[in-house]
Amino acid sequence: MSTQATSVDKPQHSTASMGGFFKTHLREYGILIALVVIMGLFQFLTDGILMKPINLTNLFLQNSYIIIMALGMLMVIVCGHIDLSVGSVLGFIGALAAVMMVNYDISYPVTFIVCLMVGTLIGAAQGYWVAYYRIPAFIVTLAGMLVFKGLTLWLLNGQSVGPFPDQFQKLSTGFLPDLFPSSDFHVTSMLLGTATATLLVYFNLRTRQKQASYGSTLEPVLFFVARNALIILAILYITYLLSTYKGAPNVLILMALLISVYTFVTQRTTFGRRIYAIGGNEKAAMLSGINTQRLTFLTFANMGMLAALAGMVFAARLNMATPKAGLAFELDVIAAVFIGGASMRGGSGKIIGAVIGALIMGVMNNGMSIMGVGIDWQQVIKGLVLLAAVIFDVYNKNKAG
Protein backbone atom coordinates (compact mmCIF):
# COMPACT_ATOMS: atom_id res chain seq x y z
CA MET A 1 0.00 0.00 0.00
CA SER A 2 1.90 2.95 -1.22
CA THR A 3 2.02 5.79 -3.12
CA GLN A 4 0.94 7.31 -6.28
CA ALA A 5 1.32 9.98 -3.69
CA THR A 6 4.97 10.78 -4.22
CA SER A 7 4.35 11.26 -7.92
CA VAL A 8 5.17 14.70 -9.27
CA ASP A 9 6.81 16.76 -6.62
CA LYS A 10 10.09 18.31 -7.66
CA PRO A 11 10.84 17.85 -11.31
CA GLN A 12 13.83 19.40 -12.91
CA HIS A 13 14.24 17.20 -15.95
CA SER A 14 16.61 14.89 -14.14
CA THR A 15 16.99 12.54 -11.25
CA ALA A 16 17.28 14.34 -7.94
CA SER A 17 20.36 14.02 -5.78
CA MET A 18 19.80 11.51 -3.02
CA GLY A 19 20.47 13.76 -0.07
CA GLY A 20 18.33 16.55 -1.46
CA PHE A 21 15.51 14.23 -2.33
CA PHE A 22 15.56 12.67 1.11
CA LYS A 23 15.43 16.09 2.70
CA THR A 24 12.45 17.30 0.69
CA HIS A 25 10.58 14.07 1.29
CA LEU A 26 11.73 13.62 4.86
CA ARG A 27 8.19 13.58 6.21
CA GLU A 28 6.95 10.93 3.81
CA TYR A 29 9.83 8.59 4.41
CA GLY A 30 10.11 9.60 8.03
CA ILE A 31 6.71 8.27 8.94
CA LEU A 32 7.31 4.99 7.14
CA ILE A 33 10.66 4.61 8.83
CA ALA A 34 9.04 5.46 12.16
CA LEU A 35 6.51 2.67 11.66
CA VAL A 36 9.22 0.16 10.80
CA VAL A 37 11.34 1.23 13.77
CA ILE A 38 8.39 1.07 16.16
CA MET A 39 7.43 -2.37 14.87
CA GLY A 40 11.02 -3.55 15.21
CA LEU A 41 11.22 -2.15 18.70
CA PHE A 42 8.09 -3.91 19.89
CA GLN A 43 9.01 -7.09 18.07
CA PHE A 44 12.12 -7.06 20.23
CA LEU A 45 10.45 -5.91 23.44
CA THR A 46 7.66 -8.47 23.17
CA ASP A 47 10.05 -11.32 22.36
CA GLY A 48 8.61 -11.73 18.90
CA ILE A 49 4.96 -11.89 19.92
CA LEU A 50 4.10 -8.78 17.91
CA MET A 51 4.64 -10.42 14.55
CA LYS A 52 3.14 -13.78 15.47
CA PRO A 53 0.41 -14.59 12.90
CA ILE A 54 -2.35 -14.60 15.48
CA ASN A 55 -1.29 -11.27 16.95
CA LEU A 56 -0.85 -9.73 13.53
CA THR A 57 -4.38 -10.78 12.67
CA ASN A 58 -5.56 -9.20 15.90
CA LEU A 59 -3.64 -6.06 15.16
CA PHE A 60 -5.57 -5.56 11.94
CA LEU A 61 -8.90 -6.39 13.55
CA GLN A 62 -8.24 -4.04 16.46
CA ASN A 63 -7.33 -1.10 14.27
CA SER A 64 -9.61 -1.59 11.32
CA TYR A 65 -12.26 0.84 12.55
CA ILE A 66 -9.68 3.50 13.39
CA ILE A 67 -8.15 3.21 9.93
CA ILE A 68 -11.53 3.29 8.21
CA MET A 69 -12.48 6.46 10.04
CA ALA A 70 -9.04 8.01 9.49
CA LEU A 71 -9.73 7.92 5.73
CA GLY A 72 -12.73 10.19 6.15
CA MET A 73 -11.11 12.28 8.86
CA LEU A 74 -8.15 13.00 6.61
CA MET A 75 -10.47 14.54 4.05
CA VAL A 76 -12.32 16.53 6.69
CA ILE A 77 -9.02 17.84 8.08
CA VAL A 78 -7.60 18.56 4.63
CA CYS A 79 -10.75 20.56 4.01
CA GLY A 80 -9.85 22.64 7.05
CA HIS A 81 -12.36 21.24 9.53
CA ILE A 82 -12.56 18.58 12.21
CA ASP A 83 -15.12 15.98 13.24
CA LEU A 84 -15.31 15.22 16.95
CA SER A 85 -18.49 13.19 16.68
CA VAL A 86 -17.13 10.10 14.94
CA GLY A 87 -16.64 8.06 18.11
CA SER A 88 -20.22 8.70 19.20
CA VAL A 89 -21.56 8.06 15.70
CA LEU A 90 -19.67 4.78 15.64
CA GLY A 91 -21.29 3.79 18.91
CA PHE A 92 -24.71 4.96 17.82
CA ILE A 93 -24.64 3.04 14.54
CA GLY A 94 -23.42 -0.10 16.33
CA ALA A 95 -26.36 0.26 18.68
CA LEU A 96 -28.76 0.89 15.82
CA ALA A 97 -27.53 -2.20 13.99
CA ALA A 98 -27.86 -4.28 17.16
CA VAL A 99 -31.37 -3.10 17.91
CA MET A 100 -32.47 -3.66 14.32
CA MET A 101 -31.06 -7.16 14.07
CA VAL A 102 -31.53 -8.43 17.61
CA ASN A 103 -34.69 -6.69 18.79
CA TYR A 104 -36.50 -6.40 15.47
CA ASP A 105 -35.08 -9.37 13.57
CA ILE A 106 -34.31 -7.32 10.50
CA SER A 107 -32.01 -9.15 8.11
CA TYR A 108 -28.36 -8.17 8.15
CA PRO A 109 -28.08 -6.88 4.54
CA VAL A 110 -31.00 -4.49 5.12
CA THR A 111 -29.52 -3.44 8.45
CA PHE A 112 -26.15 -2.88 6.83
CA ILE A 113 -27.55 -0.63 4.12
CA VAL A 114 -29.88 1.28 6.45
CA CYS A 115 -27.02 1.88 8.88
CA LEU A 116 -24.75 3.21 6.16
CA MET A 117 -27.51 5.54 5.05
CA VAL A 118 -28.20 6.75 8.58
CA GLY A 119 -24.48 7.39 9.07
CA THR A 120 -24.33 9.37 5.84
CA LEU A 121 -27.35 11.37 6.94
CA ILE A 122 -25.77 12.14 10.29
CA GLY A 123 -22.62 13.33 8.57
CA ALA A 124 -24.67 15.32 6.10
CA ALA A 125 -26.69 16.96 8.87
CA GLN A 126 -23.54 18.13 10.61
CA GLY A 127 -21.90 19.10 7.33
CA TYR A 128 -24.95 21.16 6.44
CA TRP A 129 -24.41 23.52 9.36
CA VAL A 130 -20.69 23.68 8.79
CA ALA A 131 -20.86 24.21 5.04
CA TYR A 132 -23.92 26.36 4.52
CA TYR A 133 -24.17 28.25 7.80
CA ARG A 134 -20.44 28.45 8.50
CA ILE A 135 -20.85 27.24 12.07
CA PRO A 136 -17.43 26.06 13.25
CA ALA A 137 -17.08 22.30 12.79
CA PHE A 138 -15.58 22.05 16.25
CA ILE A 139 -18.87 23.24 17.78
CA VAL A 140 -21.22 21.38 15.46
CA THR A 141 -19.47 18.06 15.92
CA LEU A 142 -18.95 18.60 19.65
CA ALA A 143 -22.72 18.92 19.84
CA GLY A 144 -23.02 15.84 17.63
CA MET A 145 -20.72 13.95 19.95
CA LEU A 146 -23.01 14.65 22.92
CA VAL A 147 -26.19 14.03 20.97
CA PHE A 148 -25.17 10.65 19.62
CA LYS A 149 -23.60 9.54 22.87
CA GLY A 150 -26.97 10.25 24.44
CA LEU A 151 -28.96 8.59 21.66
CA THR A 152 -26.78 5.48 21.98
CA LEU A 153 -27.67 5.20 25.65
CA TRP A 154 -31.33 5.75 24.86
CA LEU A 155 -31.34 3.21 22.04
CA LEU A 156 -29.66 0.54 24.12
CA ASN A 157 -31.51 1.42 27.29
CA GLY A 158 -28.15 1.51 28.95
CA GLN A 159 -27.54 -2.16 28.31
CA SER A 160 -25.49 -4.21 25.92
CA VAL A 161 -27.34 -5.78 22.99
CA GLY A 162 -26.16 -8.91 21.16
CA PRO A 163 -25.23 -11.40 19.84
CA PHE A 164 -25.50 -10.88 16.11
CA PRO A 165 -26.24 -13.29 13.27
CA ASP A 166 -23.11 -15.18 12.14
CA GLN A 167 -23.14 -13.57 8.73
CA PHE A 168 -22.95 -10.11 10.24
CA GLN A 169 -20.07 -11.09 12.51
CA LYS A 170 -18.16 -12.23 9.44
CA LEU A 171 -17.80 -8.59 8.49
CA SER A 172 -15.21 -8.28 11.17
CA THR A 173 -14.14 -11.71 12.38
CA GLY A 174 -14.47 -13.62 9.11
CA PHE A 175 -11.59 -14.65 6.90
CA LEU A 176 -11.18 -14.88 3.19
CA PRO A 177 -12.44 -18.34 2.14
CA ASP A 178 -9.63 -20.57 0.85
CA LEU A 179 -10.19 -21.88 -2.65
CA PHE A 180 -7.61 -24.60 -2.01
CA PRO A 181 -8.63 -25.84 1.41
CA SER A 182 -6.19 -28.76 1.42
CA SER A 183 -3.32 -27.62 3.57
CA ASP A 184 -2.70 -25.61 6.72
CA PHE A 185 -1.48 -22.84 4.52
CA HIS A 186 -3.99 -20.28 3.20
CA VAL A 187 -3.03 -20.33 -0.48
CA THR A 188 -5.67 -17.85 -1.65
CA SER A 189 -4.51 -15.15 0.73
CA MET A 190 -0.93 -15.63 -0.32
CA LEU A 191 -1.89 -15.42 -3.99
CA LEU A 192 -3.93 -12.31 -3.36
CA GLY A 193 -1.05 -10.70 -1.47
CA THR A 194 1.35 -11.52 -4.28
CA ALA A 195 -1.04 -10.10 -6.84
CA THR A 196 -1.47 -6.90 -4.82
CA ALA A 197 2.27 -6.44 -4.45
CA THR A 198 2.80 -6.98 -8.16
CA LEU A 199 0.06 -4.57 -9.07
CA LEU A 200 1.44 -1.87 -6.78
CA VAL A 201 4.90 -2.16 -8.24
CA TYR A 202 3.41 -2.08 -11.71
CA PHE A 203 1.56 1.16 -10.89
CA ASN A 204 4.66 2.70 -9.36
CA LEU A 205 6.68 1.80 -12.42
CA ARG A 206 4.09 3.23 -14.72
CA THR A 207 3.92 6.48 -12.76
CA ARG A 208 7.70 6.72 -12.92
CA GLN A 209 7.67 6.14 -16.66
CA LYS A 210 5.08 8.85 -17.14
CA GLN A 211 7.10 11.25 -15.03
CA ALA A 212 10.17 10.43 -17.05
CA SER A 213 8.37 10.99 -20.33
CA TYR A 214 7.25 14.39 -19.10
CA GLY A 215 10.69 15.19 -17.78
CA SER A 216 10.01 15.57 -14.08
CA THR A 217 12.71 15.09 -11.51
CA LEU A 218 12.66 11.44 -10.64
CA GLU A 219 13.05 9.82 -7.29
CA PRO A 220 16.64 8.52 -7.13
CA VAL A 221 16.79 4.97 -8.53
CA LEU A 222 18.06 3.58 -5.27
CA PHE A 223 15.14 5.08 -3.37
CA PHE A 224 12.68 3.83 -5.94
CA VAL A 225 14.05 0.30 -5.84
CA ALA A 226 14.35 0.31 -2.07
CA ARG A 227 10.84 1.64 -1.60
CA ASN A 228 9.33 -0.89 -3.94
CA ALA A 229 11.38 -3.74 -2.53
CA LEU A 230 10.20 -2.74 0.93
CA ILE A 231 6.59 -2.69 -0.22
CA ILE A 232 6.85 -6.11 -1.84
CA LEU A 233 8.66 -7.60 1.12
CA ALA A 234 6.26 -6.11 3.65
CA ILE A 235 3.16 -7.27 1.80
CA LEU A 236 4.54 -10.72 1.07
CA TYR A 237 5.84 -11.19 4.59
CA ILE A 238 2.61 -10.08 6.20
CA THR A 239 0.41 -12.16 3.91
CA TYR A 240 2.73 -15.10 4.48
CA LEU A 241 2.34 -14.74 8.22
CA LEU A 242 -1.42 -14.35 7.93
CA SER A 243 -1.61 -17.36 5.61
CA THR A 244 0.00 -19.59 8.19
CA TYR A 245 -2.87 -18.70 10.49
CA LYS A 246 -6.39 -18.29 9.09
CA GLY A 247 -5.57 -16.19 6.05
CA ALA A 248 -6.50 -12.61 5.32
CA PRO A 249 -9.32 -11.28 7.50
CA ASN A 250 -12.30 -9.92 5.56
CA VAL A 251 -11.82 -6.59 7.18
CA LEU A 252 -8.26 -6.37 5.87
CA ILE A 253 -9.57 -6.81 2.33
CA LEU A 254 -12.21 -4.17 3.02
CA MET A 255 -9.57 -1.77 4.32
CA ALA A 256 -7.24 -2.38 1.41
CA LEU A 257 -10.07 -1.63 -1.01
CA LEU A 258 -11.08 1.52 0.84
CA ILE A 259 -7.49 2.73 1.09
CA SER A 260 -6.96 2.35 -2.65
CA VAL A 261 -10.25 4.02 -3.49
CA TYR A 262 -9.61 6.98 -1.19
CA THR A 263 -6.00 7.35 -2.27
CA PHE A 264 -7.20 7.49 -5.83
CA VAL A 265 -9.97 9.96 -5.07
CA THR A 266 -7.75 12.32 -3.10
CA GLN A 267 -4.72 12.21 -5.39
CA ARG A 268 -6.04 11.69 -8.86
CA THR A 269 -9.48 13.23 -9.17
CA THR A 270 -10.79 16.75 -9.52
CA PHE A 271 -12.88 16.14 -6.40
CA GLY A 272 -9.76 15.46 -4.35
CA ARG A 273 -7.91 18.37 -5.86
CA ARG A 274 -10.74 20.73 -4.98
CA ILE A 275 -10.78 19.59 -1.39
CA TYR A 276 -7.08 20.38 -1.05
CA ALA A 277 -7.68 23.77 -2.67
CA ILE A 278 -10.48 24.56 -0.21
CA GLY A 279 -8.28 23.66 2.73
CA GLY A 280 -5.38 25.64 1.27
CA ASN A 281 -7.35 28.83 0.71
CA GLU A 282 -11.11 28.65 0.83
CA LYS A 283 -11.67 32.15 -0.53
CA ALA A 284 -9.36 31.65 -3.48
CA ALA A 285 -11.02 28.31 -4.21
CA MET A 286 -14.47 29.88 -4.08
CA LEU A 287 -13.40 32.72 -6.38
CA SER A 288 -11.99 30.14 -8.79
CA GLY A 289 -15.42 28.66 -9.26
CA ILE A 290 -15.09 25.76 -6.84
CA ASN A 291 -18.33 24.99 -5.02
CA THR A 292 -16.75 25.09 -1.59
CA GLN A 293 -19.98 24.65 0.32
CA ARG A 294 -21.10 21.53 -1.47
CA LEU A 295 -17.70 19.89 -1.22
CA THR A 296 -17.41 20.64 2.49
CA PHE A 297 -20.87 19.19 2.93
CA LEU A 298 -19.89 16.05 1.03
CA THR A 299 -16.73 15.44 3.04
CA PHE A 300 -18.79 15.43 6.21
CA ALA A 301 -21.41 13.14 4.69
CA ASN A 302 -18.61 10.80 3.65
CA MET A 303 -17.17 10.93 7.16
CA GLY A 304 -20.55 9.93 8.54
CA MET A 305 -20.76 6.98 6.16
CA LEU A 306 -17.31 5.74 7.13
CA ALA A 307 -18.08 6.18 10.82
CA ALA A 308 -21.18 4.04 10.28
CA LEU A 309 -19.15 1.37 8.52
CA ALA A 310 -16.59 1.46 11.32
CA GLY A 311 -19.44 1.23 13.84
CA MET A 312 -20.67 -1.99 12.30
CA VAL A 313 -17.15 -3.43 12.03
CA PHE A 314 -16.58 -2.62 15.70
CA ALA A 315 -19.91 -4.04 16.85
CA ALA A 316 -19.38 -7.17 14.77
CA ARG A 317 -15.99 -7.71 16.34
CA LEU A 318 -17.37 -7.51 19.88
CA ASN A 319 -20.50 -9.36 18.74
CA MET A 320 -22.36 -6.88 20.84
CA ALA A 321 -23.32 -3.22 20.94
CA THR A 322 -22.41 -1.53 24.20
CA PRO A 323 -23.26 1.95 25.46
CA LYS A 324 -19.56 2.66 25.84
CA ALA A 325 -18.61 1.73 22.29
CA GLY A 326 -16.67 4.43 20.50
CA LEU A 327 -15.72 6.33 23.61
CA ALA A 328 -12.80 8.65 22.76
CA PHE A 329 -12.21 6.95 19.40
CA GLU A 330 -12.37 10.37 17.73
CA LEU A 331 -9.17 11.25 19.53
CA ASP A 332 -7.33 8.20 18.18
CA VAL A 333 -8.58 8.92 14.69
CA ILE A 334 -7.60 12.57 14.80
CA ALA A 335 -4.21 11.70 16.32
CA ALA A 336 -3.62 9.18 13.51
CA VAL A 337 -4.28 11.81 10.88
CA PHE A 338 -1.93 14.33 12.48
CA ILE A 339 0.80 11.77 13.10
CA GLY A 340 0.35 10.96 9.43
CA GLY A 341 1.43 14.47 8.51
CA ALA A 342 -1.79 16.39 7.90
CA SER A 343 -1.75 20.06 8.79
CA MET A 344 -4.13 21.56 11.32
CA ARG A 345 -4.66 24.49 8.95
CA GLY A 346 -5.94 22.21 6.22
CA GLY A 347 -4.78 21.80 2.67
CA SER A 348 -2.19 19.10 3.22
CA GLY A 349 -1.99 15.48 4.27
CA LYS A 350 -2.25 12.14 2.54
CA ILE A 351 -4.40 9.07 2.91
CA ILE A 352 -1.40 6.78 3.16
CA GLY A 353 0.03 9.00 5.89
CA ALA A 354 -3.16 8.76 7.92
CA VAL A 355 -3.16 4.96 7.53
CA ILE A 356 0.44 4.70 8.67
CA GLY A 357 -0.36 7.09 11.51
CA ALA A 358 -3.17 4.80 12.61
CA LEU A 359 -0.89 1.77 12.35
CA ILE A 360 1.75 3.47 14.48
CA MET A 361 -0.86 4.10 17.17
CA GLY A 362 -2.17 0.57 16.77
CA VAL A 363 1.23 -1.10 17.02
CA MET A 364 2.02 0.93 20.11
CA ASN A 365 -1.30 0.02 21.76
CA ASN A 366 -0.86 -3.60 20.91
CA GLY A 367 2.81 -3.82 21.80
CA MET A 368 2.43 -2.06 25.10
CA SER A 369 -0.57 -4.21 26.03
CA ILE A 370 1.45 -7.36 25.34
CA MET A 371 4.26 -6.00 27.48
CA GLY A 372 1.79 -5.36 30.24
CA VAL A 373 2.23 -1.60 30.28
CA GLY A 374 -0.72 -0.14 32.14
CA ILE A 375 -3.36 1.89 30.33
CA ASP A 376 -2.11 4.92 32.28
CA TRP A 377 1.36 4.89 30.78
CA GLN A 378 0.04 3.86 27.38
CA GLN A 379 -1.89 7.11 27.24
CA VAL A 380 1.12 9.14 28.32
CA ILE A 381 3.35 7.55 25.68
CA LYS A 382 0.79 7.91 22.90
CA GLY A 383 0.32 11.55 23.81
CA LEU A 384 4.05 12.18 23.66
CA VAL A 385 4.35 10.43 20.29
CA LEU A 386 1.60 12.64 18.87
CA LEU A 387 3.32 15.75 20.19
CA ALA A 388 6.71 14.61 18.87
CA ALA A 389 5.31 13.93 15.40
CA VAL A 390 3.75 17.37 15.14
CA ILE A 391 6.82 19.12 16.56
CA PHE A 392 8.91 17.28 13.97
CA ASP A 393 6.56 18.56 11.26
CA VAL A 394 6.57 22.14 12.39
CA TYR A 395 10.33 22.11 12.89
CA ASN A 396 10.84 20.81 9.37
CA LYS A 397 8.49 23.34 7.90
CA ASN A 398 10.21 26.23 9.65
CA LYS A 399 13.58 25.04 8.46
CA ALA A 400 12.32 24.74 4.92
CA GLY A 401 10.54 28.12 5.03
Nearest residue (CB) to another protein, 342 versus 368: 342
Stretch that binds another protein, among 33-41, 133-141, 286-294, 315-323 (CB under 8 A): 286-294
| Rounded Cα distance, 308 and 92, in Å | 8
Stretch that binds another protein, among 81-89, 130-138, 145-153, 271-279 (CB under 8 A): 271-279
Contact status: 291 vs another protein (CB under 8 A) = yes
With 0-12 / 13-18 / 19 or more C-beta atoms within 10 angstroms meaning exposed / middle / buried, residue 254 is middle
What is the size of the binding site for another protein (CB under 8 A)? 31
| Rounded Cα distance, 212 and 18, in Å | 17
Binding test (CB under 8 A) with another protein, winner from 273, 374, 375, 380: 273
Q: In the complex, what is the shortest distance from the CB of residue 353 to another protein, in angstroms, rounded to a whole number?
A: 16
Torsion angle of alpha carbons 202, 207, 210, 215, nearest 10°?
-130
Instruction: Count the neighbouring beta carbons within 10 Å of the beta carbon of residue 34.
Output: 18
Q: In the complex, what is the shortest distance from the CB of residue 191 to another protein, in angstroms, rounded to a whole number?
A: 29
| Rounded Cα distance, 325 and 318, in Å | 10
Query: Within 47-106, which residues bind another protein (CB under 8 A)?
Result: none
Contact status: 281 vs another protein (CB under 8 A) = yes
Contact status: 266 vs another protein (CB under 8 A) = no
Q: In the complex, what is the shortest distance from the CB of residue 8 to another protein, in angstroms, rounded to a whole number?
A: 6
Contact status: 276 vs another protein (CB under 8 A) = yes
| Rounded Cα distance, 144 and 133, in Å | 16
Q: What is the DSSP string of 44-75?
A: HHTTT-TTSHHHHHHHHHHHHHHHHHHHHHHH
Query: Within 209-248, which residues bind another protein (CB under 8 A)?
Result: 210, 213-214, 216
Query: Within 11-30, which residues bind another protein (CB under 8 A)?
Result: 11-12
3-state secondary structure of 349: coil
Q: Find, among 86, 60, 92, the residue nearest to 73 by Cα.
A: 86
Phi, psi of 163 (to 5 degrees): -85, 175
Binding test (CB under 8 A) with another protein, winner from 19, 158, 289, 372: 289
| Rounded Cα distance, 158 and 294, in Å | 37
Query: Within 340-359, which residues bind another protein (CB under 8 A)?
Result: 347-348
Contact status: 270 vs another protein (CB under 8 A) = yes
Counting every residue, how long is the chain? 401
Binding test (CB under 8 A) with another protein, winner from 50, 124, 131, 285: 285
Q: Answer for the pair 28, 5: CB distance below 8 angstroms, yes or no.
A: yes
Stretch that binds another protein, among 9-17, 38-46, 114-122, 246-254 (CB under 8 A): 9-17
Stretch that binds another protein, among 132-140, 192-200, 280-288, 296-304 (CB under 8 A): 280-288
Q: Answer for the pair 371, 45: CB distance below 8 angstroms, yes or no.
A: yes
Nearest residue (CB) to another protein, 172 versus 292: 292
Nearest residue (CB) to another protein, 322 versus 343: 343
| Rounded Cα distance, 60 and 41, in Å | 18
Residues making contact with another protein (CB under 8 A): 7-12, 210, 213-214, 216, 268-271, 273-274, 276-277, 280-281, 283-291, 347-348
